[in-house]
Amino acid sequence: MRIVYVLTSLGVGGAERQALAIADRMARRGHSVAILALRPVVVEEWPTGLRVVHLDIRKSPRSVIAGLMRAHRFLREFRPHLLHSHSFHANIFARLLKLLFPSIKVVSTVHNVYEGGGQRMLAYRLTDSLACRTIVVSQAAADRFLLLKAIRPDKCRVVPNGIDLAEFTPSEDRRNGMRVELAAGSSFVWLAAGRMVPAKDLPNLLRAFTLVREAFPDAQLWIAGAVPGAEMKKVRRADGIGWSLVGLSSSSRGFHEGVRRFGLRRDMPALFDAADAFVLSSAWEGMPLAVGEAMAMEKPVVATDAGGTRELVGHAGIVVPVADAGALAAAMLDLMNRPSKVGQALGQSARARIASRFSIDSRADAWEALYRAVVEASS
């Protein structure tokens, strides 16, 4: 098959990483694969050896039209059987391309329980007929989009994210080396990871960690993740959140004591190794990749009940209500107070759950089967 993946950008987000992981596996299986990125090249992008065409679309109607023309030229040359788009802007753009190439099949993927307000949901409804399938990464997200009538039930299917177990495999030697490098000492280290955007609700995490530090003064919280420029401006306009993000970097006393922000890291498996447990404080999610990666690394997980998090964690971690710093802190303290062997057993159970239900190879099998069904249905 000839497959084109349509992404908003190759920026370092979970949806982009998952899409590129599937695209890479399709290429390894002998399919012809290319990437269409709507936006210009950004400073931080996921690396890929696949062919990438940037459409350089910006916020103007003229730019959108020029981008459609570039995409038209590329698709006329590449002659794909199928477009697989990811997240709102790319989903709508791929559906518009269907108008130019009626024979091409379009599969849309929704990566979050919240992809915008009423206007975006209306856009999904109005363009629904242009997509053969709309895939959602969690049942929680599917339920919401079906309730909003943004997806027709007969076109909706849940395909959760997948985790690369070969990449995310724990190493005791790497753990020891990284803890020395980062001067972790004997402290209990909590790791949080993800782009610093409102969905991650970092104020909730910081409030919870303040309570944890009262009981464990030596505890550390490490936060890894990029701060997108546009999102940062948006966050700074929100009460409380902006102050929290700006203050995360290196404050040595008061509210942020014990907190270290690393920014974007390319060595996440090593950082997972060095940590003792993983924490997610999100207000909304689709199905958080970082939680699945932590589970694959055998880390005990405490997470808020956002989107498909509970579906991912199951009984292999602790799930608490969203926006409840007290409950989040209580769960973190409960884990820290347990014997270390209990945490280890929970981590081993977590990796086993990922291996049995959420491996990237099983997801690639599911996607390949879906692609074939969609393409062959038209032949």
Distances in Å between the Cα of 287 and the Cα atoms of 109, 136, 246 are: 12, 9, 27
Checking if the pLDDT of 232 tops 60, the result is no
| Percent of the chain's residues with pLDDT above 90 | 85
Paired tokens of 331? 């769960």
**What is the residue-averaged pLDDT of the chain?**
91
Place 195 in a pLDDT band, splitting at 50, 70 and 90.
Answer: confident
- The packing angle between helices 289-296 and 14-28, to 10°, is 60
Question: What pLDDT does residue 12 have?
Answer: 84
Non-local CB neighbours of 57 within 8 Å, separated by 6+ positions? 38, 39, 63, 64, 66, 67
Res 32 pLDDT > 90: yes
* CATH 3.40.50.2000-classified regions of the chain: 2-162+359-377, 172-357
CA 122, distance to chain mean position in Å, is 24
Residue 105: the pLDDT is 97
Q: What is the CB-side half-sphere exposure of residue 228 using CA atoms within 13 A?
A: 17
Query: What local confidence, expressed as pLDDT, does residue 231 receive?
Result: 42
Determine the Cα angle at 13 with ends 190 and 175, to 5°.
Answer: 35
pLDDT at 242 over 60: no
Whether pLDDT at 250 is above 70: no
Q: What is the DSSP string of 282-332?
A: -SS-BS-HHHHHHHHTT--EEEE--TTHHHHHTTSSEEE-TT-HHHHHHHH
pLDDT exceeds 60 at position 253: no
d(CA 113, CA 197): 15
Q: Which fold has domain 172-357?
A: Rossmann fold (3.40.50)
Residue 254 pLDDT level (bands cut at 50, 70, 90):
very low
DSSP letter, residue 155: G
The pLDDT assigned to 240 comes to: 38
What per-residue confidence (pLDDT) applies to 245? 46
The class that CATH gives domain 2-162+359-377 is alpha beta
pLDDT-based confidence at 378, cuts 50/70/90? low
Token digits of residue 206: 């910081």
In whole angstroms, give the CA distance from residue 110 to residue 63: 25
The three-state secondary structure class of 163 is: strand
Mean pLDDT value across residues 136-144: 97
> Is it the case that residue 119 has pLDDT exceeding 60?
yes
Q: How far apart are CA 332 and CA 326, in angstroms?
A: 10
Q: pLDDT tens, 265-323?
A: 889 999 999 999 999 999 999 999 999 999 999 999 999 999 999 999 999 999 999 99
- The count of other CB atoms within 10 Å of the CB of residue 369 is 10
Q: In sequence order, what DSSP letters do the residues of 39-85 get, joined into one string?
A: SPP-SSB---SSEEEE----SSHHHHHHHHHHHHHHHHHH--SEEEE
Question: How high is the pLDDT of residue 227?
Answer: 73
Percentage of the chain surpassing pLDDT 70?
Answer: 92
